[in-house]
A and B are shown apart, each in its own frame.
Chain A
Amino acid sequence: MDIKVLGSGCAKCNMLEDAVKQAVAKAGLDAQVEKVTDMERIMGYGVMSTPALVVDEQVRLAGRVPSVDDLVALLTRV
């Protein structure tokens, strides 16, 4: 599983990255978490509110930081 956290470096983007890493560990997923800060790549996903979450090249979340449990549910419901 390929997970990307999109964000230009605001506080919430770091919160989402931490929450995603926790969720991955909690669900025992085999996943790579990458942080994307490059504006050109962020815009490439058509996202306008950061932070955003991209799972296997699909945008799943934008503009909010859900709880770790909600992220676990989101990541395991494919």
Chain B
Amino acid sequence: MDPFAPYQWLADALTYRVFGLAPGSRLALAVDFFLYDVPKVLTLLAVVIFAVAIIRSFFPPERTRAMLSHTRLYGGNIAAALLGIVTPFCSCSAVPLFIGFVESGVPLGVTFSFLVASPMINEVAVILLAGLFGWRIAAIYIVSGLLIAIVSGIIIGKLGLESWVEEYVYKLRVGQAAEIAEQTWRERLVYARDHVGEIVGKVWPYVVVGIGLGAVMHGYIPDDFLARYAGVGNPFAVPIAVIVGVPLYSNAAGVIPLVSVLTEKGVSMGTSLAFMMAVVGLSLPEAIILRKVLKPKLIAVYFGVNAVGIMAIGYLFNAILR
């Protein structure tokens, strides 16, 4: 049974009985869509962020680093991409994390697999995808993100770009990895609760605005309206989606509800996936922060390899998800 059936019932009751909107009218469709999706997405966010925070409390970056040091190409890239999902990451820690990894002998390519996977496969993006597109698309997103992280890390590793890291990184003396007391269960629960408050508090306006715009389009724009412009038939749709997506950082929470409606109106699935990955995974603020440790050439390679990978995924799913 759909666990969100009560939400649909409530949204229907409000739309048709309380507001007295005519069934099938454009306004009713838009209002019903909004009243169903906003509480559903916020509930999903709260529940899953809580669970993810508990899981993450077992994988501090210090432990991830210990697991990845002295790994090799290929195996190390796969491990790094997977650990990228569970290790908490915020772009403000990107620099100490990068230095810590490189210093403890994590190969550069493996470090990049981590740096690609960690922001791209984040809980907010995955939950919104699952809530609005279903779990199949969310799973495809996760697998695609892992693939891009693994392959781009391997490519960067193979290119041997160690000299494009700022020299001082190799000269820094990193202290013995800190021994930090294991958190108690009470601390984990408090951390998870605070984390839910922090993330939901930050993203809810985007969710409301994103779903609100989506609701208007859902009600007022005919289905398949956009198929002519951004459907499978347009070979430029994927690169344009990626180029537009990169500067839209931090609006993932608002962008994904919008994209779900664009898809309904005829934008193909591969193009939508590429757009979302570009929004979530590649961000200019992260590039600026990483500039402290990477020379501009290496940042360009990082973005270039990633963008090409995202486009490849876009074309692939345009070809197979009809």
Tell me the A residues contacting B by CB distance below 8 Å. Answer: 8-13, 39-40, 42-50, 52, 59-67, 70
Contacts and interface: CB of A to CB of B under 8 A. Distances in A.
B93 A50 contact: yes
A68 to B, nearest CB: 12
B176 A46 contact: yes
> Which of A40, A63, A65 counts the most B-chain CB atoms under 10 A from its CB?
A63
Contacts of B90: 10, 12
A27 B90 CA distance: 31
B180 A62 contact: yes
A49 B60 contact: yes
Interface string B151-177: 000000000000000000000111111
A6 B103 CA distance: 19
Interface of B: 60-62, 65, 88, 90, 92-93, 95-97, 99-101, 103, 172-181, 187, 190-191, 194, 292
Given A44-B174, A44-B175, A64-B191, A49 B96 contact: yes
B96 A50 contact: yes
24 contacts: A10-B90, A10-B92, A11-B92, A39-B172, A40-B172, A42-B96, A43-B100, A43-B174, A44-B173, A44-B175, A46-B176, A46-B178, A47-B62, A47-B96, A47-B178, A48-B65, A48-B97, A49-B62, A50-B96, A59-B178, A59-B180, A60-B180, A62-B62, A63-B93
A70 B99 contact: no
Contacts of B179: 59
Contacts of A67: 190
Contact of B93 (A43, A48, A61): A48
Contacts of A9: 92
Nearest to B186: A70
A45 B99 contact: no
A46 to B, nearest CB: 4
Contacts of B100: 43, 46-48
B53 to A, nearest CB: 10
Contacts of B292: 39
> Which of A50, A52, A61, A64 counts the most B-chain CB atoms under 10 A from its CB?
A64
Contacts of B181: 60
Given A8-B96, A43-B100, A48-B65, A62 B175 contact: no
